[in-house]
A and B are shown apart, each in its own frame.
Chain A
């Protein structure tokens, strides 16, 4: 079954509002990556977090890796219409060779 869950599955926000998606794994991850897939497009790598408790920022996006390395979050401040898309987290489980992708959160931004 699905081992990396994301919530919410869908989120509609008014332009200018903040948005957060949460990623939870049933097991410890060696690292976590975030990808964005625009409608009709393919997933594009955003960022990778490796250390416990790590926080990284990219302009209006803030990424956090949990202390136990089992969860992560992506927060977007003051959303814009260009933020529309599905955001996936993906992690390597310790000892595994492949990425486990989360279920994704589809963000809609209402102008």
Chain B
């Protein structure tokens, strides 16, 4: 158990809809990362938040947005869903930026949310 919790585990929805994925980081971790993994594909970095603020942005579509709340949990919002958005969405957390050495930026992944857009 990585200590990172993602809900829901599975999500089935229709094209054009909007969904929210939730992530609770490990206790004490300030950074949250979101990744998308399509079938047989690598990990595509979407966005990172640190202590409530956006820190780095990857290949995140304009239809997607995220935020990190004061209790450090994060939500990834996906709107106007398309068939191609079907994928596994992972959240990861790390101690990055907490004042510890940069070399301690190990990422701990949640079990993921499998999104199916029909």
Contacts and interface: CB of A to CB of B under 8 A. Distances in A.
Contact residue range for chain B? Answer: 20 to 34
A58 interface: no
A91 to B, nearest CB: 11
B63 interface: no
A63 to B, nearest CB: 14
Interface stretch (B18-26, B68-76, B106-114): B106-114
A101 B35 CA distance: 10
Interface residues on A, range: 20 to 34
B84 interface: no
B103 A101 contact: no
Contacts of B43: 43, 88, 101, 104
Contacts of A96: 56
A102 B42 contact: yes
Nearest to A102: B42
Given A96-B56, A101-B43, A42 B103 contact: no
Interface string A83-111: 00000101010001111111110100000
Interface of A: 2, 30-31, 33, 35, 41-45, 48, 50, 88, 90, 92, 96-104, 106
